[in-house]
Structure 1
């Protein structure tokens, strides 16, 4: 019997699902993070997970985005052969209309991050369209859809290789994960695709991330095939690397490892890794002709009550009075609370600043003894000063760091994850510091921002230079004035502790 699915029902279902996943974590993810939080032995990593859990509850209650990077939308659509879609739009256009409505919802505006002409003008499409859509035609009379919103920081850490048939998959993964750094915002999941062709392996890895976290059940029942054997082995060995939450070192780097495989050519062994970050966002619904398929809100009692532990060792920085001489007291791993006026700027702003410096032009902002925050915030709604405003990946600014530090008077930077060798060397040479904010705690961070105004480059939208007024914004010292990086020392220390003390990773 043929099922008729109305165009509007499909649009409404996509829009509802994308709004839903912007502020509700999957329950299985929250439970897994909480379990990792309870057993974590590294205070810095434990605090990072506390921020993620607190942020998750705040977002669920306030219906605001978990992360300021509200992602590129991917849809996996299984269309039953006995379904007729009633409408005047193509399926692509229907799904993209759902994306458009979700991201422009007035009560919860989501950040538009999609740029057309990716190697040219890179002009923002303004509504986060188009989505990346994958179709299958299957038996049946329903339309089955998974939607996911994937952050750029985690997507950027994807890895692919065409291995020789005799190459060891576990060795390759254990070699790749440290190279991914912390820009994918662990703890999260690894999706791994093995086999098929190059593009099939990548698709398998992305699809694998849609599955629920169930590594505990697999441990209890035992592996029944090669993919399950690999899951168990990689779960243990990846966590034994000691990378930890946000790359600070610790017991939990991954919450689960998902693997899908597919038959492949005798000469090939394609393999792909795609990580899912601490802002894991995906939803599933089925259209059967009875109307839109809307998401059911979770029970917030399932969210753990977590509080951050106050410490006597917390240091405070007054951004309005700090000088370079005071930076020497900051050591890697120190917890710091920032208060005062904090500049912002990321890729586009840094490129424009460096271009102006090279041309000898006067800069629009005085950076002397100032700190800059690498952020592209969500637009505010209602009475908000700013929308969710978590950090962006700092390594993207590495190539600009030396010029900016040496030519502007800037003394501090705040971002997400590690810095590369060139940036660390520039920080050391200029006796500056780099502080790390927690990726995946964007709404929590935004509550420390009590004022905001645009100072320069307003045409860049969320990439403009703002001046935030912050009060007790939580950060961790990641690179000190001597060039010591917690992202280098922390994982080494914890990998050794796990190895020698047999701590469960």
Structure 2
């Protein structure tokens, strides 16, 4: 009988979570690099370049790939010949590992988990508890698969109870465009088919633990219906032209994973969960010989590339920006921002709206300023700020008109598309929405030269900061006329693909 000490599980979980915060799986890096090499869309190519540059920087600096260091999911396959040397339950041991990882002083990870979700929504401060799934299996080892999944991609999860005669491929083709770009493509789609609703969701999540191997499958050919579906769905989704960060292009997904299970004759449950450009998962096996530590990949696995600054790049100082300046910016244009910007997410926006409704003065003036939707990681060592990538902008849509018309904002910076109401508010106020790349948080943080909390310090990472930035890369996503590249880009590239001008792989 194998004896697993509680320290072995705790230490292995903590090490794996620290590891995946900094290191992309090598198969993911290689897949993005291959897509980057063949991508004809400049906007999508630049976005993938930032993801690859960020990935290499994080591996070198041992800092988080994304500021959203995720909620932890753990799958345990426990051999029936294993005994744990502990008085505590396994959930407590796993959560102790999570706690140790997220509070590590040399690489602080952002705690995003809130208790009392329908009430006070109070941060647990250490990212516990994890979501834990356990199975008893034959054997004398403990197999552990874990992932840290960000809210942007989790929020785009879909579940449908289809009729048995319905076409899964058609449902996916119809559903993926409704997900927008908040899940930060290019990534993977995990799909669960069959079982019951909760079983389908579980299979979709677990399938994302598998390595990227769609091109090997294409070369050898499908041997069953599930493999045929993977290839069909890969082609179908990429033919939508959504592209990296939703900007339009050839590569929306890098792989499609499917798990299935027998289901009721009257049912066809289908679940779909995307994995974002901050793909983070690890696998290890405990066999009674102590903790398992992850081995860092060679930097040779990370391509050395640079962003294309040869054309269409404009340097902008946001201090004292005017309406006429903003009107000169074109949709899809790359800007390098310098100057002072403010930050704010959901909680800060809600506070400011409530204050304005009560006729109170805001703690910091928004007039003529840009606000960046971000909740940064705490800095370590000599950092000004920790990884500071954008959060999903649509969550701030309901606040946008008031922030523009009452608070006097000049513009906003975030991730992915804006909804119709926000776009109309931007158009009415001749404002602008700029997009930073999701999945390039450490790269963005290098542009921050000074950071100071200026309001709501009790909100932690959701406090309002003032950042002084230098050459922060963004793209014009919605211009002052309401023209959105997240609408026009995919339409253009979908048409090009349909006309067979370009080949989708």
Compute the TM-score of the two structures, normalised by the length of structure 2.
Answer: 0.99
TM-superposed CA distance for 1:471, in Å, is 0.1
- Structure-1 residue corresponding to 2:60: 61
Partner of 1:339: 338
Secondary structure, aligned partner of 2:406: helix
Deviation at 1:176, TM superposition (A): 0.5
Contact 1:318 1:339 in 2 (8 A): yes
Q: Which residue of 1 aligns with 2:154?
A: 155
Does the aligned pair in 2 maintain the 1:83–1:143 contact within 8 Å?
A: yes
Find the aligned partners of 1:349 and 1:138 in 2 and give their Cα distance: 47
Cα distance in structure 2, aligned partners of 1:386 and 1:327: 28
Q: In 2, distance between residues paired with 1:446 and 1:123?
A: 27
CA distance in 2, matches of 1:504, 1:102: 43
- 1:248 is the counterpart of 2:265: no
Query: Which residue of 1 is the match for residue 177 of structure 2?
Result: 178
Equivalent position of 1:320 in the other structure: 319
Distance 2:455 2:371 in 1: 13
Shift of 1:460: 0.4
User: Shift of residue 436 of structure 1?
Assistant: 0.1
Q: Which residue of 2 aligns with 1:202?
A: 201
Task: Give the 3-state SS of the residue equivalent to 1:110 in structure 2.
Answer: coil
The answer (yes or no) to whether the contact 1:186–1:253 under 8 Å persists in 2 is yes
Which residue of structure 1 aligns with residue 112 of structure 2?
113
TM-score with structure 1 length normalisation?
0.99
Q: What per-residue deviation string (whole Å, max 9, x for no partner) do you get for residues 288-340 of structure 1?
A: 00000111111110111111111232112211121122111111100000000
Q: For the residues of structure 2 that align with 1:312 and 1:335, how far apart are their CA atoms?
A: 9
Distance in 2 of aligned mates of 1:439 and 1:24 = 16
1:341: Cα distance to partner?
Answer: 0.2
Q: Which residue of 1 aligns with 2:472?
A: 473
What's the CA shift string for 1:65-121, capped at 9, x where partnerless? Answer: 000000000000000000000012210000000000000001000000000000100
TM superposition shift of 1:343: 0.3
Unaligned runs of at least 5 residues, structure 2: none
Residue deviations 1:414-458 (CA, integer Å, cap 9, x gap): 000000000000000011000000000000000000000011011
Q: Runs in 1 of length 4+ with deviation above 3 angstroms?
A: none
Deviations 1:175-210 (A, max 9, x none): 110000000000000000000000000000001100
Look up the match of 1:23: 22
Q: How far apart are the structure 2 equivalents of 1:413 and 1:93?
A: 42
Q: Could you say which residue in structure 1 is the equivalent of 2:234? A: 235
Give 3-state SS (helix, strand or coil) of 1:340's partner. strand
1:12-161 aligned at under 5 Å gives the runs 12-161=11-160
Residue 257 of structure 1 aligns with which residue?
A: 256
Q: How does 1:479-494 map to 2 (within 5 A)?
A: 479-494=478-493
Equivalence for 2:379: 380
The 8 Å contact of residues 324 and 369 in structure 1, kept in 2 or not, is answered as no
The number of aligned residues is: 504
Indicate if the aligned counterparts of 1:158 and 1:274 stay in contact, CA closer than 8 A: yes
Deviation sequence 1:321-372 (CA, Å, 0-9, x none): 2112211111110000000001000100000110111111111111111000
Query: Is the deviation greater in 325-334 or in 48-57?
Result: 325-334
How far apart, CA to CA, are the structure 1 residues paired with 2:503 and 2:20? 31
Q: Tell me, in whole angstroms, the C-alpha distance in 2 between the residues paired with 1:115 and 1:444.
A: 27
Q: Which moved more, 1:217-226 or 1:137-146?
A: 217-226
Mapped to 2, the partners of 1:36 and 1:272 lie a distance apart of 26
Q: Which residue of 2 aligns with 1:497?
A: 496
> CA contact under 8 A between 1:338 and 1:472: conserved in structure 2?
yes
Find the aligned partners of 1:360 and 1:25 in 2 and give their Cα distance.
48
Matched residues in 1 for 2:7 and 2:311: separation?
A: 56
Distance, in Å, in 2 between the alignment partners of 1:316 and 1:62 is 27
Q: Does 1:445 align with 2:444?
A: yes
Once the 2 structures are TM-superposed, how far is the Cα of residue 411 of structure 1 from its aligned partner? 1.1
Q: Distance in 2 between matches of 1:308 and 1:420?
A: 29
Deviation at 1:502, TM superposition (A): 4.0
Secondary structure at 1:408's aligned position in 2?
coil
What is residue 5 of structure 2 aligned with on the other side?
Answer: 6
Distance 1:102 1:502 in 2: 48
What is aligned with 1:410?
A: 409
* Secondary structure of the structure 2 residue equivalent to 1:501: coil
